[in-house]
Chains A and B, each alone.
Chain A
């Protein structure tokens, strides 16, 4: 019999207050978490806005050792993993270690620690032959970010397959997709899957400055990220994490777990075109969507909501609008499409998982979160992008997509429990 994948627990650290509840309230209220960068002096940068998490690791229960050892991205992941397990009603000893896995997405790993430790050993860039005397004990954990998945494995006591999936900005989606594969093929019964990134550091901000991917609406930080709007000029860098408890459906049923949603389809494709550029036809994303729907055995007309990648770059919003039309046909014009990045910024390898969490909660609550800051529609973009205000709607099937550097395009289908084929 086919093994099906249920989401039974959610943990989220998103910009603003941590926790899945605060996250859901924010994205349904339409209020944005974008603000001037506070982590360092942003004055020399082109884009000086970010979506930061109000995250106090001690208040979130991390020990002094964890605070010292863990990069911010790892701290997010650990806190999310604990929330997700509690949400799933799983306690120490409930999981069979060898049947439990971890698949954690991250685009840039432990970038904050790596950059600051670099600054120390290089004496702020003065030395090419950097000074080993200042290397901190856990530097190797930052060097190779498998450590992020290892920390989550320790939280869950997982001893099955454990990996980081690092596919750039689709990491969060691809990691959950990989988690579904592990359950589907029978390698694991439970997988903690999600994504984490804490990229708000000088080097990341400088990178996106250099390619003008980020918004320079610096004088209006709360409204800087404007997906699908005529005045959009790029994304706002965000940070955060989401970890989901993925569970084989029968396993969840046997223990009487609440099932939030089923993940019934996932696929990804590459455009083989450009590391950062997108063709306007959205062809490969459309193909990923078709393949994901096919695996879910759903017709395009059955999709009740599309969670867009919606980064608010000129290129992206055209690209995915074309992809939705190509994959969903006439239904693209009827289905609500929104970008929660408008409120949370773009947290690279984390956001795909955060968006899956949003989709699961949207199904549970029957609410479509809006696209904030969409005040001046772009005549070229003619779908229903749910501007400004959330909408009540019963959702049986939702689609979420991601697009990232390297030309990667990913799509996933979630369905209300009991409605999947």
Chain B
């Protein structure tokens, strides 16, 4: 693999970006005086900043590298993760759920579930998310380190150290506001960087028609320029993509992931919460092309050298994008693109750290250690940022030993809960009849269904693996059924108790009770 020797201009651009992020983060941090400032940015965030932050919080280094590799392997079908898996649920959430959650005045999604159902549901989801976020931090550190080793020649621990310290400084001091404002800068750099890769790549392969012509000549790429694949496709059958991704995983992610939802809760008003999600959908229409197209370009450029993806060793596919960058981009442009990689890493990392801290303080710590003054919770929140950075780095140590398998394990772990989470959110917000015990039962039945479906391959005589998109769909269906059935035989909360928690029972006050 070629290594980059960044010339002074590129290095200066990368350094300027890093210092710019740090300075911006610290400058923004001046007004943080309370836990509300720290966790929800004092509810002062503008819609456009939140919209951009939503986009880059979703796209990390692993996604940039991974989507290009998947674009090489599968083609345009990967864009579904950002189209039907993002644009569709984001628009539904924009008008149905996010303004409502904003009005509920909660800090976290588990807090809403706790108010709507009971403390068991809240605690279970808070613990699950905290564990998942810690694992995700480890994978972000590792994927960043792999990339920076190729692009900048940094050693593993140097890369972990630099990213942790940089993100740690402005996230500890500035909280959500610093995270969102630095994310807007990252979003701009990311768009410019990804566009430059596509522009230079397309120029190299003779434009879009040249790209299509070259890729179509290969024997195994008949579906590479289709978003919808046949129903019997082994990995992305369209019914599973539509039901599992479009109706379950996408909505669960965009309505239930604390790292995503939290920034919208920090907007100035309901209208701005809605606008931030719509702006996110606008930006998200462009991103799938910017991230998947490089994979197709790489297929046209390097197929003779790289061959069929089935012949690759573990982790070899992750070299694809760095390889393109090294060979394709001229001086100056290279610095911007490396800055874009850094942007993806920093924005992903700061979002998860800030949200993990918010989650633990509000859903696990505050219910136990009550009635302390606000400064105490602010201090604990800041301390947890450091704790999560250290925990993430510790997880990274284990992740790096077997990256692919550990990453998949975390993703599998999460698919156990996405379906039930969405079921509880939907039924909780849309019906007054869902009871606290119905919610608990639905959660357990949904998770149990996912666990059984995942374990089919280990059963005696089990010869196949059920695609995870199907697992998500059926665990959602099971959770809905379980919640409804148990709710029918248990007593619901009275109307006053549900005020502001169910869409059809609005809160008395116009302002949220934060």
Binding between chains A and B: no
